[in-house]
Structure 1
Amino acid sequence: MFNASASPSENCTFRTVITTTVIPLIYCFIFIAGLGLNSVAAWVFLAVPSTKSFIVYLKNIVVADLLMSLTFPFKILADSEIASSQLSIFVCRYSAVVFYINMYIGITFFGLIGFDRYYKIVKPLFTSVVHTINYSKVISAIIWLLLIILSLPNMILTNEINEANYSGNCVGFKNELGIEWHKFTNYICIGIFWIVFLLLIIFYTSISRKIYSSYKKFRKSSDVTKRKTNRNIFTIMLVFVTCFVPYHLCRIPYTLSQTSARFDCPSARALFYTKEFTLILSAANVCLDPVIYFYLCLPFREKLYQKLRLKLKTSGEAEISKSRRTNTIRESTNTL
């Protein structure tokens, strides 16, 4: 059975006006914006054919963001203490797990997009099954399956269902095996993020160099292309740094504060507040991803304008397309 005295943080109370009013209010805005933007993104992507690997991956991110957004109302109600304590149990056992599953699914697919762009732009002569649509669909299914399998025990092993165990810390509902699995999955997910983040830096640095070296021969439009490429890469990396780096810097010490007796109550409380506010940044990613689709994915932008019956300004793309460029480089500037 779970030893309630194993971690002082379990006997701390984290309930303040910040956690019951301020944070739920912020999540309300994120939920409204995220659900609206991702619903529009899903509506547009339904009309975009899956002709390229990166579009398959983007569609998976849209699904992950939508599912992630749907968990926000449960957190809002539970944290604000509007609903009964049974909802807090539901959040700890199910809703929070779904939130994290979809967050890391989205992170993983952004890594796959970086990998796909890297090999199609930096190594255009490299042909492999990994670039086929069928492979993209298979690897997408595998990612969903693996992360669901990894996270499912967090639902099953959260079985110490006793309202007295809950003080704002979900670990109080876990048995001993559940605590160990909780630590294991946290470290795996942290590793996933940092690996993807490092690979994105490598991929997009190589892409930027490749595009710059390919376009510098054409003085007329090299500056335009260079600015566009740098903008696209900067946007992706800015979203990752802003939304995910702060949370993953504090997640290891926070996990230790949940499962170790080395942290006193004030330290555990400080880590809890740090985790909650950095998690808000991660949650806000659902609002920023649709903006990324718009600026970085030309098929998405074209289809959106078509559905809204607006005229897409394509002067930049037209100028590039009229130049003597390879198909690979032209694709990179439109779908990076």
Structure 2
Amino acid sequence: MINSSGNYCIYSKVLTKQALPLAYGLIFIGGILLNGVAAWVFLHIPSKTSFIVYLKNIVVADLIMSLTFPFKIFADSEIGPWQLNTVVCRFSAVIFYLNMYMSITLFGLIGFDRCYKVVKPQFLTSAHTVRCSRIVCVAMWALHMLISLPNSILTNKTPTKDNSKCVDLKSTLGVQWHQASNYTCLAIFWIVFLLLIFFYSSIARKIYFSHRKFKKNSKLSRKKTNRNICTIMLVFIICFVPYHIGRIPYTLSQASSQNRCEEQKVLFYIKELTLLLSAANVCLDPIIYVFLCQPFKQRLYQKLHLKMRTSEELENSRSRKSNAICETVVIS
């Protein structure tokens, strides 16, 4: 691959053409199976709360995101024709990022929804109705399409077999929009991430003081709440933080006219490996649903003809009876 200064950079074929496509293949299989099951379960759960509406939209985003993986797999492994790389640059990569950031935004909305209902339940308004949450979701989808889709439209140069980099297929305006959308998406992630820390810290603090006041079953309920909060934050930290740290220097390197080959290779490897972690999020989200959404867990067990353990049923019953705040966080 030729860098911007004209030097020929050779990337590891074992990594780019074998290891990464294999890893994406496994994630694709897991993502389709797990999110397929999640979609099947959510079809049998009525959208009675904004929380359920947001989770259903995450399932849709993860399913669409998973469907883009085969294009990357075949293009990177060079199994398909060279024109497949153009399809990835113009369409599947754009759809991948659109749905990834939509999923991130939805988790931010869930964090706000949970925090507001726990910390300020006396101020609940129509902002938390199902109808309003659906409008918010439509607005967020429209916003992310506005950010992402011009990258597809402005990738309009005539492709050749030697144009192996997506940036080579972009017009001058396309390169500028690509950079602008990258920085916008980076800002979206870090804002959502910091807000999630604030939201869930506020929830944990509210429940801690509530349990200190009422005492009853506090240890059990607090443990369940902390588990859910830690699960969400751990997934975000593992899947998204490394990529959004590595993406900054990689985006800057694409715009630079002076890139040493070794530096370019290191940044490329970091970007690809951390992007793999972000892609793996489609397999972890369905696991979050089990911890975060009690109706999902109950319906899943019912559809699979499994019986919940007595301890779990007792825990859920106690949680419902003893603490309405915990019920709001866990949706039990």
* TM interval, short-chain normalised: over 0.9
CA–CA separation in structure 2 for the residues paired with 1:102 and 1:333 = 25
Answer yes or no: is 1:162 the counterpart of 2:159: yes
**For residues 262-301 of structure 1, what are the structure 2 equivalents within 5 Å?**
262-301=258-297
Answer yes or no: is 1:331 the counterpart of 2:328: yes
- Counterpart in 2 of 1:62? 59
> CA distance change for structure 1 residues 105 and 91 in 2, over 3 Å: closer, same or farther?
same
Q: Aligned to 2:123, what secondary structure does the other structure show?
A: coil
Per the TM alignment, residue 332 of structure 1 is displaced from its structure 2 partner at its CA by 2.1
Amino acid at match of 2:135: V
**For residues 142-291 of structure 1, what are the structure 2 equivalents within 5 Å?**
142-167=139-164, 169-291=165-287
CA–CA separation in structure 2 for the residues paired with 1:322 and 1:190 = 42
Tell me whether 5-14 or 83-92 shows the greater mean CA deviation: 5-14
CA–CA separation in structure 2 for the residues paired with 1:109 and 1:333 = 17
Amino acid at match of 1:310: L
- Counterpart in 2 of 1:320? 319
**For residues 113-124 of structure 1, what are the structure 2 equivalents within 5 Å?**
113-124=110-121
Q: TM-score, normalised by structure 2?
A: 0.95
**For residues 89-128 of structure 1, what are the structure 2 equivalents within 5 Å?**
89-128=86-125
> CA distance change for structure 1 residues 161 and 185 in 2, over 3 Å: closer, same or farther?
same
Q: Provide, for residues 274-303 of structure 1, a one-character-per-residue CA deviation record: whole Å limited to 9, x for no partner.
A: 100000000000000000001110011111
Q: Aligned to 1:311, what secondary structure does the other structure show?
A: coil
CA–CA separation in structure 2 for the residues paired with 1:105 and 1:319 = 35
Tell me whether 138-147 or 217-226 shows the greater mean CA deviation: 217-226
- Counterpart in 2 of 1:87? 84
CA–CA separation in structure 2 for the residues paired with 1:330 and 1:275 = 40
Q: Aligned to 2:217, what secondary structure does the other structure show?
A: helix
Q: Aligned to 1:201, what secondary structure does the other structure show?
A: helix
> CA distance change for structure 1 residues 90 and 215 in 2, over 3 Å: closer, same or farther?
same
Per the TM alignment, residue 69 of structure 1 is displaced from its structure 2 partner at its CA by 0.2
Verify the 8 A CA contact 2:147 2:181 in the aligned structure 1: yes
Verify the 8 A CA contact 2:28 2:70 in the aligned structure 1: yes
- Counterpart in 2 of 1:77? 74
Amino acid at match of 2:90: R
Per the TM alignment, residue 170 of structure 1 is displaced from its structure 2 partner at its CA by 1.1
Could you list the runs of 5+ residues in structure 2 that have no partner in the other structure? none
Select the structure with the greater relative contact order (CA < 8 A; seq sep ≥ 6): 1
Q: Aligned to 1:20, what secondary structure does the other structure show?
A: helix
Per the TM alignment, residue 321 of structure 1 is displaced from its structure 2 partner at its CA by 2.9
* Percent of aligned pairs with the same amino acid: 57
CA–CA separation in structure 2 for the residues paired with 1:219 and 1:10 = 68
CA–CA separation in structure 2 for the residues paired with 1:301 and 1:176 = 50
Per the TM alignment, residue 10 of structure 1 is displaced from its structure 2 partner at its CA by 8.8
Verify the 8 A CA contact 1:42 1:59 in the aligned structure 2: yes
- Counterpart in 1 of 2:20? 23
Q: Aligned to 2:331, what secondary structure does the other structure show?
A: helix
Verify the 8 A CA contact 1:10 1:171 in the aligned structure 2: no
The root-mean-square deviation of aligned C-alpha atoms, in Å, is 1.8
Verify the 8 A CA contact 1:9 1:257 in the aligned structure 2: no
Per the TM alignment, residue 15 of structure 1 is displaced from its structure 2 partner at its CA by 5.7
CA–CA separation in structure 1 for the residues paired with 2:34 and 2:325 = 30
Amino acid at match of 1:181: W
Q: TM-score, normalised by structure 1?
A: 0.94
Per the TM alignment, residue 13 of structure 1 is displaced from its structure 2 partner at its CA by 4.4
Per the TM alignment, residue 263 of structure 1 is displaced from its structure 2 partner at its CA by 2.1
Verify the 8 A CA contact 2:225 2:326 in the aligned structure 1: no
Amino acid at match of 1:232: N
Verify the 8 A CA contact 1:10 1:172 in the aligned structure 2: no
Amino acid at match of 1:236: I
CA–CA separation in structure 2 for the residues paired with 1:30 and 1:51 = 31
Per the TM alignment, residue 58 of structure 1 is displaced from its structure 2 partner at its CA by 0.4
